[in-house]
Each structure stands twice: as structure tokens, then as C-alpha cells.
Structure 1
Amino acid sequence: MQIQRDFYLQQLIDGKQNGLIKIITGIRRCGKSYLLFTLFYQYLKNSGVTEDHIIKIALDDIESADLRDPLSLYKYVKAKMVDEDLYYILLDEVQLVARFEEVLNSLLRMDNADVYVTGSNSKFLSSDIITEFRGRGDEIRLYPLSLSEYCDGTGLKPYEAWKDYYTYGGLPHVLTLETEKKKLDYLSNLFESVYLLDILERHRVKNKSEFEDLVRIVASSIGAPTNTAKLSNTFKSVKKVAISYNTIDKYLGYMQDAFIIEKATRFDIKGKKYIGSLAKYYFTDMGLRNAVLGLRQQEESHIMENVIYNELRRRGCKVDVGIMEQRYVSKDGKWQRKQLEVDFVVNEGSQKYYIQSALAMPDEEKRKQEMASLLRIGDSFKKIIIVKDDIKPWTDENGILTIGLMDFLMGDTKDLNI
């Protein structure tokens, strides 16, 4: 089974010979090696690049053990470059090389070398890349399979695939497993033996149970505004354990660096500024989230919101949580204030749009509730409500577009005119 990940492949193609190191990052087991060594390699060969001008090294292979020495790797690559023609250098699991930063910077100085690398999350995180390769690296962020890619891989139609997709997630290996038990066992073992172990070892976290408890708390509250104070209070009230704000903040940072979760910050739409400490956290893969919780708390509304967030991020959008203040007169005649939430404030290049996620809008009262915050936004950017129902997209007299979830997930922003 070969899944065509054209969105990411095109980014690699667009980055050819741009003078930067192309760095593929993302949660472990989401297909980084496959993208580089299979899809991009096939593209190069089909484009007429000869095999002797593609230097492909899997550094986690036992045959490449000697090349994990930085000087040996550099000399090996240099010896392969026997003429002045362009060479494509593909290095998988480059973090296994000691002082790999020096190797990559040395390769970058070679005029006829175009360098592409992947790295595992345990030692090769986005924060590391920003520090080591500022201005010299072109990061391609790889996410688990989108619903569209999932359907391509399984042959299922979107509504047929939806329940399995939001239950077991989009890590490619899941598609090869037949039973629910095999899928859940795989995801649970993967989290324990790969993701969790990576974080504990990398950051020398001493209290494993405390960290696991925080992961479960975040998993159980996807899409709910929270902060370190709230999470600390949850530990005190539910777990009967005192854990400091600083420790919680560090743990959340570890999870973000490992690409397990992402943070969406609150943005004051009217004041055009970021506000307060409250934020929302979303899981990069719903299968991992559900495995952490043992398939408990399957609230489709929150899961749908998480999936929409992931799809927006996959498309390269910057996503915040919007806040609009509403002033109204109470029953006793006094002016009151309350905050209305816009699920997502989305920036895609020069374009901005606002999105509400609504599992269903069975009546006019529910529709008014979902529209309330959107109607108070004073600018002219597109405003959208995404519902699970299979409906024909339509725009009301206020300019608010309502579309079905599958149309959004299976299309792109250009298809939907947003």
C-alpha cells in the first residue's frame, strides 16, 4: 500500500536547490522516512536524476553504523561526489550522528550539494532546529494522515472512514492493522515505548506517573480553555497531588516539542492582541489521544474540533482561539460583559478567516448561538461555520458560509473559496 502524500512532496520539490537544508520534522511514525526515501526518491529518479547522484543514507541501519561518526559521514559523502554536477543528499535519522550540526553546515557550504534530512523527536525537535539552523534550514512539518489521505489509503468514502479515522487516528501503520484490539495495542505500546520514553529520557523526568497523569488530563480536555493554574488545581482536587505551575508548564512544553500536542493561544479579535494565560491544547493524532484514555470520553463535538484544528495546521495555517466581548443589559438594568468565543482565528498567508465548529445546528436557536460571536466581528474577512451534516455549502445574508465537515476535510481552501 502506497499513500501519495502530495502536499508534502510538493514542498520538498519546491525547496530544491534553495540553498537551505530541507528538514522534515513531525511526530514519530508519521511517515518522514517514507516521504524522503520512497516518495521523494522516486520523484528524483522519474525526473531524470541518476542513482549515483542521489546519496541516500539510513543512519539507523546497522550497515551505516560507521557513518554515525561525523567526520566519517562527511568524508563518505564527499567521496561520493566525484564531479561538479548536483548531488541530492538524503539523510534519515541524522540525530544519530554526533555533532550532526557540524556535518550539515559543512555540506551546506558545498555548491553542488542539495541536502534533505529527517530526525526523530527524541533529539531532533523543532526547537533544536530553530537554534541550530536559524536562517539555514527549511522546515517541512509532517502531520499524520489527513482524512483525505486516509481515504486514499483505505479506499473508503469520507463518511465511511470518519468514525475509524477519529478513533484510531492517522499514523500510517494503523491502516495495515485489521482489528480494533491490534490498533489500540499498537497505539498504546507506541505511546509508552516510543513517545513517552523519548520525553522521559531526553528531559530526565523523574516522576513518570505525574507526567502520565498530566497527559491524560490534557487528553480529556481537548478544546477546553485551560492554563497551568487550572491544571494544578485539577491535580490537587482529582489526584490529590500538589504540582507546581512551573513543572506543569515544563511538561506541556515537552509534549509540544515532541509534537504530541499543539497550543492555540487566545486572541482578542476586536483589540487585535493576545490576551491572558488561557489556551487550548489539541492532540496531533486522535488515535494516540484515544489510546491514552482507553477510548473513554469519545465526545464527537470535541473530537471534530480537534480534527478541524489539525487540518488547518496541516495546510500550513496559523491558528488561534478568538475572543469577542459582548456588552448587554441584564434583567436588573445593569450593563454586563461576557466573552464569546470564536473557535479558530485562521491566518493563511495574507488571508484571514474565522471558523466555528458545530457538530449540529438542529434549530434556529442553535444557529444563533453559533453565529453570535461571528456577527460581532467588524472586519470583512470570511466567516465560516463547519457542521457535521452533509449539506451543500451556502452563504446567508450576513455573509456567513456554512459548509459540511467532509467538504472541508476533503477539499482545500481554494476549493471552498475561503
Structure 2
Amino acid sequence: MAIPRKQYLQKLIDKQDNGRVKIITGIRRCGKSYLLFNIYTKYLRESGVQNEQIIGIALDELPNAMYRNPIELDKYIREQVKDTSRRYYILIDEIQFVSEIQNPYVEDATSKLTFIDVVLGLMKIKNADVYVTGSNSRMLSTDILTQFRDRGDEIRVYPLSFAEFYEGYEGDKRDAWLDYYTYGGMPVVLSLSSHEEKSRYLRDLFTRTYLKDVIERHAIQNDSEVLEDLLNILASTIGSLTNPTKLSNTFNSEKHIKINSTTIDKYLRYFIEGFIISKAERYDVKGKKYIQTPHKYYFTDVGVRNARLGFRKQEETHIMENILYCDLLRRGFDVDVGVVEQNIKTKDGKKLRKQLEVDFIINRGSKRYYIQSALTIAEPRKREQEIASLIRIPDSFSKIVVVRDYIKHWRDDHGILYVGIEQFLLDENMIDL
């Protein structure tokens, strides 16, 4: 079953013909090419755009190898933009395959032509609207808009949300959550039937694609095993506070490898630039300031994370937190990890300062929400523990506890909303009940 990816289609429609290049980014194999060449192309045709007005080229295909030369690519596209009275839509897939060549038009030996020059040139064609995707590390970096000199709009694509996964799930819907938190939201996973097929696909995706991209982009020679170990440690500790110093100490104590925190920090940035992981900053709610360290790291796709660990560490509470974090990002929220300080007295009368965690503080425009992720609140003591931070937040913004249990949503005397994870992920309006 084809997933319509309505959220991303609407973003493309909203940015259509706005005079800027549309740059579709995201972790590899999350569906960027399908979005552009199938879903968006279908929309254009249904809107009355003729086939000859849609100029599409996939540069990763061998028959198009000659167009990896920037001059040939530019020539090929311009030859098809013939009628100045018609609007043309230029769709270039895997544009990072365009080679960097010596600029033949200038004498300076250091002058190069790249895919950026091609795109910037095409943008000057008044009757053209330009769209590009990129899937290796040259395109999967957070400085992408800077490369296009602030003339581009980035559309970030994520793996399938639970709502999208649920829509395309062909088994018993009661098993959808189980499969989603086990195998994640990579679109191909929906078409695979057995655990062996899904596991092999996700493991290969990690080692042959994601790690390879990082190693090639940054010309890493001797630390490939360190990169793998670091990813394993992060995968084992999702939802836990850490920093480069702590990770360095872990290498020293458990792996007997000496690697300094500066190098660890550099590798973490590489993973973030490649959209493999995301870093959540910590925010002091009462002090109204960010805390420099430690942070939390989450994987863009939990299926990739689980496969990395051989599906051995299936702590649903941490995986659920990871899924919730990614879904909030997908919805367009700014997401931080919260801290609420509490002053307490010990039995002997000493004053202590205790930090209580708020799993997520999310902001969008003038709206703010505090969200706690909990496996269950069936026990009164467990519920008190989960809401301890929320009831000490001195403002009136919405406070929500998302639980694994399938429950009918309700509010307590503090005004805190309780809702099940599946309902919360399937209905985006649930957040504003």
C-alpha cells in the first residue's frame, strides 16, 4: 500500500512557485525520492501540468551518468525549457552525484563547478520551479541552506510516523504498535513480512549506508570501529543523560580504548548532521535558561536503533520516549528536555536541591506544552512519581502524561491530561484537548 505522506505533500504545495529551490532532506531511505517523483508529480499532473512541463532526472541511475557532469546537466535541462510561456518543474534526484569539475570558463585553477552552481543557475530561469533531493552525506548536512546561499527552503522528511505506519499496516491493527516500536518507520519495512527480512534490511541499512556515508564524507581512516561502538553505546542509552566526557569515560572503562571527549563530540556532530540521531537540549523551567550539559540523544528511527543492538534491548519505556520525541519534531515543535529544581529538607534538617525531569518541553509559536512519557500509571505511587515535576511548574501551559496503556483520556485535579500513546500518535488534535 502506498502511503500518501500528506504532511510533506502539503509543504511542497505551499512552497510551489515561490522563487526558491526546494531542498528535500532526511535520513536515507525515508521516502524522499518517492515523495518527489511519485506523490508530488501525480499532484502536478492532476493540477493540469502537462508531462513535458515536468523535467525529472534521477542521477543515481546509470543511463543518466553523463549528466553528473554539471555542464551536461545544465545543458540537458535548459534544452527542455523551450516555451517561455509555460511553467516548468525541474525535479533532480540524488543531486550529490553531480561531480565537482574544473571551471572551464575561468583561468583560475582553483575555480570549481559543483551541483550548487547548477541549481543556482536554474533558479534564474524565470519560468522554472526547482526541486532537489540528496541522500548521501554531501546533502545530508545541516549546513545545506548555507550552501545554497539562503535561497532555498528545506523540507525535512522523517520515516513513517506511527499514524502513517498504521494506515499502511496490513496485519491485525492491534499488532501495529508492537511492530512499529520493534521495526520502526522505514517505508520498505512495511513491505517485508518476516523478522529475518526486516532485521537484515535494517542492519544493512545502518552499516552499508549510514556509517559508510559518515566515513566517506569525513575521510575517517582508522576509527570505523570507534564509530560503531559509539553508536552502540548511544543505542543502549536512549533517554539517558550523557555528554562527550561521560562517553569518553565509557570507552576507557568498558572498551579499554582511550578516546578524548573532543573526538567524541566531533563524531556526535557527524551523526547529527547525517540525521542518524538528534540531540535534545536541557532547559531549566524555573530558571528559564538552558543547561549546557548533559544532553539526551535519540535515534531518528527506532527500528534502525533496535537492529543495531540485534533487537536485544527492547525496553519499551525508552523506545516509546524516542518515538514520542521524533513525532513531536515531525509535527514542527521545538523539543527540549526539562528540569524542575525542588528544594527539600532531609530528616536531619539539611537543605538539598533536587532536580526533577520533564521528559519534553515543546514549543511552537506562542504555545507550550509539558509532556511526560510513562509506561504505566496504574499504581498511585507511580502516578505521583511521574507528575512530581509537572505539578511544580509555575505556569499555566498544558501538561500531559502519555502512557503505554490504552486508556480513555482524562484529567486529574491538577488539570493534567492523561492519554494513551497510540491515541496521542494517531490524533494530532489530542494535544489540545
Name the structure 1 match of 2:275.
259
SS in 2 for 1:277: strand
1:22-73 residue CA offsets vs partner (Å, 9 max, x unmatched): 1110110111100000000000001110011111111111121111111111
Say whether 1:338 aligns with 2:339. no
Partner in structure 1 of residue 141 of structure 2: 126
1:127 counterpart SS class: coil
SS in 1 for 2:319: helix
Distance in structure 2 (CA, Å) of the matches to 1:278 and 1:19: 41
**Structure 1 partner of 2:306:** 290
Residue 201 of structure 2 is matched in structure 1 by 186
1:138 has 2:130 as partner: no
- Note if contact 2:145-2:151 (Cα within 8 Å) is conserved in structure 1: no
CA distance in 2, matches of 1:227, 1:352: 27
Q: CA, structure 1 residues 390+351, in 2 after alignment: closer, same or farther (shift >3 Å)?
A: same
Task: State the one-letter code of the partner of 2:6.
Answer: D
- The correspondence for 1:395, drawn from 403, 406, 411, is 411
Inter-partner Cα distance in structure 2 for 1:159 and 1:239: 41
Q: CA deviation at 1:264?
A: 0.2
The 5 A counterparts of 1:60-139 are 60-84=60-84, 85-98=86-99, 99-139=114-154
Q: Which amino acid aligns with 2:230?
A: L
Q: Is the 8 A contact 2:407 2:420 kept in 1?
A: yes
Q: Which of 305, 313, 324 matches 2:340?
A: 324
Matched letter for residue 382 of structure 1: S
TM-score, with structure 1 as normaliser: 0.97
1:255 partner letter: F
Q: 1:321 to 1:134 in 2, by over 3 A?
A: farther
Tell me if the contact between 1:151 and 1:157 (Cα under 8 Å) persists in the aligned partners: no
d(CA) in 2 for partners of 1:365, 1:156: 37
Matched residue SS, 1:126: coil
The 8 Å contact of residues 26 and 121 in structure 1, kept in 2 or not, is answered as no
Q: Distance in 1 between matches of 2:179 and 2:230?
A: 26
What's the counterpart of residue 148 of structure 1? 163
Residue identity opposite 2:257 in structure 1: V
Alignment partner of 2:310: what SS? coil
1:159 & 1:22 partners in 2: Cα distance? 38
**What is the percentage of aligned positions where both structures have the same residue?**
55
Q: Distance in 2 between matches of 1:128 and 1:365?
A: 47
Distance 1:291 1:366 in 2: 31
Structure 2: any 5+ residue segments left out of the alignment?
100-113
Quote how far apart the aligned CAs of 1:276 are. Answer: 2.6
Structure 1 gap segments, 5+ residues each: none
Question: Match for residue 55 of structure 1?
Answer: 55
Query: How far has the Cα of 1:157 moved from its partner?
Result: 5.9
Shift of 1:127: 2.3
Equivalent residues in 2 for 1:202-213, closer than 5 Å = 202-205=217-220, 206-213=222-229
- Give the drift of 1:155: 3.1
TM-score calculated relative to the size of structure 2 = 0.94
Out of 57-66 and 317-326, give the one that drifted further.
57-66
Q: How many residues align?
A: 417
**Does structure 2 retain, via aligned residues, the 8 Å contact 1:147–1:158?**
no
The 8 Å contact of residues 9 and 35 in structure 1, kept in 2 or not, is answered as: yes
Specify which of 189, 196, 199 is matched with residue 174 of structure 1.
Answer: 189
Measure, in 2, the Cα distance between the counterparts of 1:311 and 1:273: 25
Offset at residue 121 of structure 1 (A)? 2.9
The aligned counterpart of 2:384 is 368
Q: Which of 246-255 and 123-132 deviates more?
A: 123-132
Report if aligned partners of 1:324, 1:342 keep a CA contact under 8 Å in 2.
yes
User: Is 1:158–1:406's contact at 8 Å kept on the other side of the alignment?
Assistant: no
Task: Give the AA of the match of 1:180.
Answer: H
2:243 counterpart residue number: 227
